[in-house]
Structure 1
């Protein structure tokens, strides 16, 4: 097959293959649908000939992706140990090790080329495998080629984190461009077609160019749907029905689907509707298959899915996730229940937690058909995966239902386990009373039976609740009880869990040796496959460093590490917590656009629910308040409502400090004192951490409160209160706290105050800066610099005035060309401005930028001011 304008890219792949003899290489082939990624790698594989052994796998577009889909494809090619491990649904480590053994086989084998197609549809376990392979391929003589649609991989797409984790020194990114106008014109000329029309309709997309040029006559269809549907209508009815059946099967139809219809297959291939694919058939491209599938009526589509389900369920060794896909779209609830439990268990074993949760959720919808013990087991399995993927409310409901079943069946051990899980999920959803009640019930119920791992974990859960409530002595006491029982039973899972509790309590209480212990616990958890524990160890380390120790620079490293770790291990339930922590670290360090991007991403993932929402709301509310956003108070009100449900001081106190700060800036000093005074009373009743007490004590003093302040205030806060602004500023600088340094400098002489204003103006903190300017005038300081012009100061994302202009028009829906015309700029300059705006706002596309503009009140640009009579 002739490939147009792809010679240079094929040469790049060929160079990488040659270079892989001295160590592995990775090629990331990106482009929109229809640009020829599959054709490119197919041609490359052909050119490899005997030089390489090509192992080929693909990801499918299914309701719930199949776990390790590409590896299953490769396992069918290789057979041997890899196939055995996959067919037995072995643990991730076993499967990945078997794959490495396959790559490092006998020396006489040709060099391996591993192709993974359509990685934008990859499941979590496949992303784990890619990350695993990426970290090791540099030591192998192999080439990994990954194709994906870059226009479908946004900022939060799981693939983005995986690609970022690949070693940059061996990665080559290859982006396929559309065909040039000259190329399209040449192909159109050969076929006697109008070049301008072809290019205008296709944009240089090779698939569309090819399909349009294959049509007969002078009339050119306006869309790809017309192309394939016209060919479909020309087929005899039986062949058309076969093509429609193939259209509801992602990627390709197996031999079993078309085994008894060889003549019809030939008709479809001859008409250009289908193409041979392995031992079956497929559409030339997913765009074409989607077009046919979308053209079917809902009833017809469901009927075809039912037919595919009937055929594939008879195939030995079929991936159960494929059966679930067809069962769900056929509306066959009995088949969903039957196959989704198997698919969920397989996905969970392979570390694909998002997919496992989706399968179990589908099965749970009709779980009342099962006998009660099996129904409880299904709900409990679903709750575990829901917890790992952040579906806390759903997991809590599943556990509560399972508890009722276990109690009715008279199963105290299982009931106790459910009570412990309910406690954890209730805390995560902001239901503190339920969390403490069920934690105590779990211990009481399980202590009535023999010593068990469930009892050890119930003890550890109590330790964790006390640790989270700043009751560190009780946390250690319960922790020691859990550790002793876990070690006696050989329960490594609980032993690691409780070690994290105890060391978190020690570190928050000032024992700096616990930092190293937490790092070691993370490594131990990861080495033994307890990936959630590994995430919690690093996450707690970053949280304590930021909150209780105020070491913002030091906190950044473990948080950045754990974010990549959580993405790599498909721990969605942790990602929004980590983003909330990173948001507050970034805010204190002066990266407000990054802080807002993290806060917004966390809230998009979690919504306004419990623990995961509090810190993102605090960060968003403080930045909104500093920049004069009208929604600031309502954001902080919501943060207060969420924190009240949790009750723990670690959430209530930062909200109180943020609200006191808001009322101070907006002139209500009485309310500012009230918020801080109430917070200080709580802090003194539950905490002995100097920075926890110092943060709220400083807020009270700053609001004009004359209350006696406790002696247990951290040094930099104490220095700010006693007037040692220079010492405080230096200490905050050492800790990486840009915003707190500005607050310290604001209490100094003129040069210090000017520096504070420079920081605040640079952050876009217009209200905070104007409040400081008013204070300086009262203090009698002269020659205080004015703030920046409103167009820049009105935003908190660090945009220039011209970027604000561009964003205003972008938010109105104007194209780059229209923006260029309106602002008298070149299209290229506008393109650069738009790119900078997206980067500063931390968003992936124009729609998200427009939404951020309206949300943060950033849309006041020169274009908007032209019609302002003021």
Structure 2
């Protein structure tokens, strides 16, 4: 209605920005090839971001793209959760109703948290992964929607974005992998100060190669001249160009304002102040128009016409005339849907709002609040509560603001906008003391919180307390990923409770929350907090809090100190949860109980219990509990040597939890799958499962386990540098405050293997002694047997090194003593015990063919190809050393070499090749084909070493320094150093210790193995 009366202050000619527009248009082409595009457009206020975006959208529409724009809403300190996404998706729903409905099919209730038009928002579930699930569903919906058409999604004014919007945008930028989608976000660069919440996001996105960032500079003088020519429809005077350029400093919006101010008669008295420049055209409007502009400035980024009419209190004709004047002066614009008005530029709105008197601002906001309260249809339903909260807050009315803010926090929670919920709850706590007593007394926990009072009171009748808000805020902070903030809130709550000293149940709840947070943040193991909670609930009547404390205590014991005492604690937790009818809590306790049963040796009963929980949780739709059951069942199956079953169940678990976007649970299941795939010799799949764990894991522990799995693979393949890097990463993830045996023991095992590979036998012994000193708790034999075996193998490989011979007897005794404490409940650990016994004998040069035959027979049925290949290597070595059956030895070597080749284990492959070479046995059919005798090849020469390098390597293997080598061989120390460097390069090792270890492991200087007789010898075999 008013669109044709505005003063022309915008150039019809698009000035500059050719390169930037070309980059945006290029993104359209790339998107058409199913390559999603992500772009950020930044620049100071008024520099031309909106105009560039409009030109791009015009071109996108011309090319047939579907275009949707959403703007971040500056409405209070918190913003409106997901506002730009809701607006843009609403446009897509209007343009592509059938297609969007199909893309959202099956997940409408979850996606309604962002787009309410899709249906009713469910009340739950809520957990730390709720937001991630919502983000994943949104990404998949957009990918499906853009599968057959180019979709351009523009989010404007990112500097005003709420936390949830920023997190969702970052998620989309990182994860969108397919579809013809172009995602563009604009932000005001000059507003992003050092502490602005957008700054970390921009830094994160800068590291993504998939995100293209465009920074818009100011216009130069020539571009300002072209802009003026477009506005004036004639060539401007050069003096005028100079004046405008100097005053605007090349800012496109300021150029427009200077021209418009001059044309509206404000030729004199114009100061250099930006505020005055922005207000000067408002001040020449008629009084009614100025009044309307000031009221619009306080209504938010956009104000609906019906709401404005209710607040302004003018006759409709008078209101329309005032709007006509404001639109005609190019200060206000009608929205694209014709339903409301907004400022043409946010800078003008900010200047007008700042110019209001404090009492005037409060009065205007009160009018807005009263209007929305009287007639909720004046604004969108999903915006009503948050706008009421902000209007009443700005109106300085705590009596009205407190319940409004609390109601808005409930809406934020239901949308999984936990960061906004937390901000609103903190605002409610600020308002708490200033609100009248009668208002606070009328509030009920059931209306405003979902973390119902842990004091055992009826939430429907008990008055809301400030501690209830602290409890709700603690959970909101944890769900929103703000664990540091959650920890501070628990500290504040516990300080308050210490002062009162009259609410032990509520204190126990906060101590239990604190235990979880301390462990997640790596600040400790959480036991002090659990123990405190246990003391607080002693002697109290049955309650949910008491059950939660018992379950958490039993779970802590399972992970940190499994034993009979914790088995009894888990059983008590099950009984207690069952007694109060808390089935979800009971199921969690039964998982702990089942694991402890299995650890104690009753694997059949323990696994049956875990499977029963999994089935019941799935039946009840408790995906979090079902996911935890999958994590623990797969772990226990692997501990029992049933790796193939573990992989099959893990695949089912991944499908279940990934569908619900339980990211940490998915990470744990994938990590367990990686462990079982490693055992089965499916190493490439194991590496991919571990890398998936690193991609999806949100917490430190599953990521640490994934790095450990990658370190195991690298170590087995002989990639020592990679193994060291992954071991360091695992240590960094796990930290030093929560040393769970299931994390600690594998890291010891890796450190031992790495030290062995680098020839550091002293470090092998130190790591072993430290691991044994910390002990092997119940159920940890699954980690202890490989650790002891690795240490024994290192001792055997180092036999003959002078530095290793001293102290060997003591080191072997440590291993034998530790092994006597370990259980062998299933064949896989019986085989490890047999293997360890043989390695200890090999370390003393007392091993026999019979010893290694027993090992190979024990390992053969286990479906562990790497372990079997190593056992066959040792059996073949024993046969050859004793002059035994060479044909059997050759078969063993060929089988082991083929397995090492399939696995990609360079280290084992080289060991086997050198053993075969020393024994003059063929490893492949091609090697066996020639009828002529195998040439008498020296294994040292096969490594490419000269005779002098042979002498040097012998001395290096004996532990000699360069000076000692020089003295022995009558050469200079410098020459000795050169020889050592050449040897390291030829052997492909990193240092002298590793070279010495390789020489001893391959017996390069040992007596030759029994060779094949020559064809002419009596009784010989060809």
Deviations 1:491-516 (A, max 9, x none): 56545543554454445433624422
1:779 aligns with 2:1006: yes
> What does 1:592-611 align with in structure 2 at a 5 Å threshold?
592-608=720-736, 609-611=738-740
d(CA) in 2 for partners of 1:403, 1:437: 15
> Which residue does the alignment assign to 1:362?
488
Q: How many residues align?
A: 659
How much does 1:140 deviate? 5.0
Does the CA contact (< 8 Å) of 1:383 and 1:396 recur in 2? yes
1:577 aligns with 2:588: no
Question: CA separation of 1:321/1:658 partners in 2, compared to 1, >3 Å: closer, same or farther?
Answer: same
1:14 aligns with 2:25: yes
How much does 1:361 deviate? 1.4
The structure with the largest alpha-carbon Rg is 2
> Which residue does the alignment assign to 1:26?
37
Does the CA contact (< 8 Å) of 2:170 and 2:201 recur in 1? no
> What does 1:249-268 align with in structure 2 at a 5 Å threshold?
none
The one of 792, 817, 827 equivalent to 1:688 is 827
Deviations 1:382-425 (A, max 9, x none): 555666x4648465444444443443432265434322222323
Moved more, 339-348 or 416-425: 339-348
Question: CA separation of 1:522/1:560 partners in 2, compared to 1, >3 Å: closer, same or farther?
Answer: same
Does the CA contact (< 8 Å) of 1:117 and 1:146 recur in 2? yes
Does the CA contact (< 8 Å) of 2:590 and 2:609 recur in 1? yes
Question: CA separation of 1:487/1:24 partners in 2, compared to 1, >3 Å: closer, same or farther?
Answer: closer
SS at match of 2:642: coil
Moved more, 321-330 or 363-372: 321-330
SS at match of 2:904: coil
Question: CA separation of 1:486/1:45 partners in 2, compared to 1, >3 Å: closer, same or farther?
Answer: closer
How much does 1:6 deviate? 7.3
Question: CA separation of 1:323/1:496 partners in 2, compared to 1, >3 Å: closer, same or farther?
Answer: closer
d(CA) in 1 for partners of 2:703, 2:163: 17
The one of 57, 69, 78 equivalent to 1:54 is 69
Deviations 1:756-791 (A, max 9, x none): 998994352642321332563541469xxxxxxxxx
TM-score, normalization: structure 1? 0.59
> What does 1:208-219 align with in structure 2 at a 5 Å threshold?
none
SS at match of 1:55: strand
Cα-Cα RMSD: 6.1
d(CA) in 2 for partners of 1:144, 1:650: 51
Does the CA contact (< 8 Å) of 1:717 and 1:728 recur in 2? yes
Does the CA contact (< 8 Å) of 2:136 and 2:661 recur in 1? no
d(CA) in 2 for partners of 1:628, 1:484: 50
Question: CA separation of 1:769/1:697 partners in 2, compared to 1, >3 Å: closer, same or farther?
Answer: farther
1:536 aligns with 2:668: yes
Moved more, 454-463 or 85-94: 85-94
Deviations 1:140-189 (A, max 9, x none): 5543459999x99xxxx99999999x9xxxx844367999xxx99x99xx
> What does 1:710-789 align with in structure 2 at a 5 Å threshold?
710-711=854-855, 712-713=858-859, 714-722=867-875, 723=877, 724-745=892-913, 747-750=915-918, 761-764=987-990, 766-774=992-1000, 776-780=1003-1007
1:669 aligns with 2:808: yes
d(CA) in 2 for partners of 1:524, 1:718: 38
Deviations 1:457-509 (A, max 9, x none): 32221222345677633432433554576578675654554355445444543
d(CA) in 2 for partners of 1:737, 1:159: 42
Does the CA contact (< 8 Å) of 2:584 and 2:625 recur in 1? yes
Structure 1 spans left out of the alignment, 5+ residues: 188-208, 212-233, 236-253, 259-274, 283-306, 783-870
Deviations 1:268-293 (A, max 9, x none): xxxxxxx96696589xxxxxxxxxxx
SS at match of 2:707: helix
How much does 1:607 deviate? 1.5
Question: CA separation of 1:418/1:684 partners in 2, compared to 1, >3 Å: closer, same or farther?
Answer: closer
1:565 aligns with 2:576: no
SS at match of 1:411: coil
How much does 1:653 deviate? 2.8
> What does 1:231-630 align with in structure 2 at a 5 Å threshold?
280=350, 316=405, 317=408, 319-322=420-423, 341-346=471-476, 352=480, 354-355=481-482, 357-368=483-494, 369=496, 371-381=503-513, 389=520, 391=522, 393=524, 395-411=526-542, 414-429=545-560, 435-436=566-567, 438-443=569-574, 445-446=576-577, 452-467=583-598, 472-480=603-611, 482=613, 493-507=624-638, 508-510=640-642, 512-546=644-678, 548-549=679-680, 551-566=682-697, 570-608=698-736, 609-611=738-740, 612-620=743-751, 622-624=753-755, 626-627=757-758
Deviations 1:336-372 (A, max 9, x none): 9676544444455xx64x32x3343122102233544
SS at match of 1:366: helix
How much does 1:684 deviate? 5.9
Question: CA separation of 1:644/1:400 partners in 2, compared to 1, >3 Å: closer, same or farther?
Answer: same
> Which residue does the alignment assign to 2:212?
174
Does the CA contact (< 8 Å) of 1:70 and 1:126 recur in 2? no
d(CA) in 2 for partners of 1:474, 1:513: 17
> What does 1:833-852 align with in structure 2 at a 5 Å threshold?
none
d(CA) in 1 for partners of 2:612, 2:121: 42
Does the CA contact (< 8 Å) of 1:553 and 1:589 recur in 2? no
d(CA) in 1 for partners of 2:169, 2:819: 49
How much does 1:689 deviate? 0.9
d(CA) in 1 for partners of 2:906, 2:782: 22
Does the CA contact (< 8 Å) of 1:416 and 1:441 recur in 2? no
Moved more, 647-656 or 744-753: 744-753
d(CA) in 2 for partners of 1:509, 1:447: 33
d(CA) in 2 for partners of 1:616, 1:281: 60
d(CA) in 1 for partners of 2:142, 2:587: 41
Question: CA separation of 1:443/1:342 partners in 2, compared to 1, >3 Å: closer, same or farther?
Answer: closer
d(CA) in 1 for partners of 2:790, 2:186: 46
Question: CA separation of 1:448/1:134 partners in 2, compared to 1, >3 Å: closer, same or farther?
Answer: closer
How much does 1:112 deviate? 3.6
d(CA) in 2 for partners of 1:86, 1:72: 18
d(CA) in 2 for partners of 1:648, 1:37: 61
How much does 1:575 deviate? 1.6
How much does 1:719 deviate? 0.9
Question: CA separation of 1:576/1:624 partners in 2, compared to 1, >3 Å: closer, same or farther?
Answer: same
d(CA) in 1 for partners of 2:395, 2:531: 33
> Which residue does the alignment assign to 1:139?
179
Structure 2 spans left out of the alignment, 5+ residues: 1-9, 62-66, 94-111, 125-129, 225-248, 252-273, 276-296, 302-344, 353-392, 410-419, 436-464, 498-502, 860-866, 878-891, 919-937, 945-982, 1010-1022
Question: CA separation of 1:98/1:653 partners in 2, compared to 1, >3 Å: closer, same or farther?
Answer: closer
Question: CA separation of 1:641/1:142 partners in 2, compared to 1, >3 Å: closer, same or farther?
Answer: farther
> Which residue does the alignment assign to 2:782?
650
d(CA) in 2 for partners of 1:94, 1:512: 33
d(CA) in 1 for partners of 2:705, 2:870: 27
Question: CA separation of 1:27/1:600 partners in 2, compared to 1, >3 Å: closer, same or farther?
Answer: same
SS at match of 1:556: helix
SS at match of 1:534: helix
d(CA) in 2 for partners of 1:684, 1:544: 20
Question: CA separation of 1:659/1:457 partners in 2, compared to 1, >3 Å: closer, same or farther?
Answer: same
